[in-house]
Structure 1
Amino acid sequence: MSVTLDQEESQYATWVELFQIYACAFNVLDHIDASVSRPSGIDTTTWNGLDAIVKQWIYGTISWDLVNTIMKPGATALKLWNRLKEIFHDNKHTRSVYLEEQLTNTRLENFANMLIKGLPKGEYDTLTVMIQQADPKPSFNKARS
């Protein structure tokens, strides 16, 4: 995984998705998701070894601040996973209210030329005029192409 989770960045959902894909690929999803049954035929010693590997993955993909916050001797990967979830979801309601207020106060007229803003003068003048005068306006992906 190439995403390092820390509290300063807003990439928790991305980190979770990538980590779950990784865990699924290695058939250890049961170590981070209590709703997934432990595979049959795996003895406790093997399961504990796999759990230690998942814990290493967790510790290896989060910032040192988070490692120090969640580390607890003897904790399972699931306990560490749930602790991270608590940390990033504890202010979910407050963040939701803040983002809703930002969205409510956003005026689209302030972003009329957002797609073409910052293009170098001269080099893209023709393209800029074409995008501005297109009716209907092209989607972002269409204009980007």
Structure 2
Amino acid sequence: MANLHPAVIVTNIKNFIPITLEMENALYTSWFELFKIHCIAFQVLNHILPPPPPVAPSAADGEVPPAPPPADPIWAKLDAIVLQWIYGTISTDLLHTILKPKATAAQAWEALESIFLDNKSSRALYLQSRFSNLTLQSFPTASAYCQELKVLVDQLANVDAPVSASQLVLQLINGLTGTKLDAVGMMLQQAKPLPDFYEARSRLILEETRQSQQPPTDSALHVTAAPTTPKRYYMSHNTLPGTVNPSLSCPLWSWNTSLVLQEL
């Protein structure tokens, strides 16, 4: 156990790299950094970023060049482990795209790099257009809006079109125009000095949380009164004592009655 290489003890690469690289999810920058950090921690960085080969001394005329060194079985085993890490953290579509017999981890790494970083000029124009037109209205929360801005900035850096820290904050503020957080954007814009991205993000999320917990100000109290039922009355002829019963056939003038309003 004392001579066991650290990379051998990794049983589940997803515990260290929790994202899956796909063609459309634009997470190459995050995946690249997480994978590189993991390889540094487990002492296998040279398997994805090998050092340049040493320059072989030129053989004199008539001399046979030296044979290449024999393959190191331990190195081959470690390279296969790193290759498994790569295959285990990418989508099925990407796996079928880069999978080749007898490929090394470095070859798979370079294949992914060429897929995501080719045509830098075209990608830079596309990413810059998306970055400049991004607004909060396209996202359900301020956190999602800020995350997309950060992803685009990382992608632009990968295609040699970096965005400065102040440009990032100014674009974040510009995307708040006409939204419920427009007032916060005005305060951020007027702040001296301009806050950094993470401070601006924190203020947006705090204000969004405050607004979500605040009761609506334009709601009125609706007092519902119990409906009143109109009272109905009927008239009855109450015969006074000593008078003729109205049921008898008597002239109307001979009745001694009183009209009484009785409530139903």
Q: TM-score, normalised by structure 2?
A: 0.42
Q: CA RMSD in A?
A: 3.1
Greater strand share, structure number: 2
Match of 1:111, SS state, is: coil
How far residue 4 of structure 1 moved from its aligned partner, in angstroms, is 0.4
Q: Which runs of 5+ in 1 are unaligned?
A: 38-42, 118-127
Match of 1:16, SS state, is: helix
Pairing partner for 1:111 from 176, 183, 192: 176
Residues 115 and 23 from structure 1, CA distance in 2 versus in 1: closer, same or farther, beyond 3 angstroms?
Answer: farther
Match of 1:72, SS state, is: coil
Pairing partner for 1:73 from 84, 89, 101: 101
* Alignment size in residue pairs: 128
User: Distance in 1 between the 2:39 and 2:52 partners?
Assistant: 12
Pairing partner for 1:143 from 203, 218, 240: 203
Residues 64 and 112 from structure 1, CA distance in 2 versus in 1: closer, same or farther, beyond 3 angstroms?
Answer: same
Residue identity matched to 2:18: S
Greater helix share, structure number: 1
Confirm or deny: 8 A CA contact 2:174 2:185 kept in the other structure. Answer: no
User: Of the two structures, which has the highest relative contact order with CA contacts closer than 8 Å and spacing of 6 or more?
Assistant: 1
State the structure with more CA Rg. 2
How far residue 104 of structure 1 moved from its aligned partner, in angstroms, is 5.7
User: Distance in 2 between the 1:133 and 1:45 partners?
Assistant: 63
Pairing partner for 1:13 from 29, 32, 37: 29
1:74-133 residue CA offsets vs partner (Å, 9 max, x unmatched) = 01000000000011112322110123345566786563365727xxxxxxxxxx7xx477
Q: Which runs of 5+ in 2 are unaligned?
A: 1-16, 54-70, 135-170, 207-264
Q: TM-score, normalised by structure 1?
A: 0.72
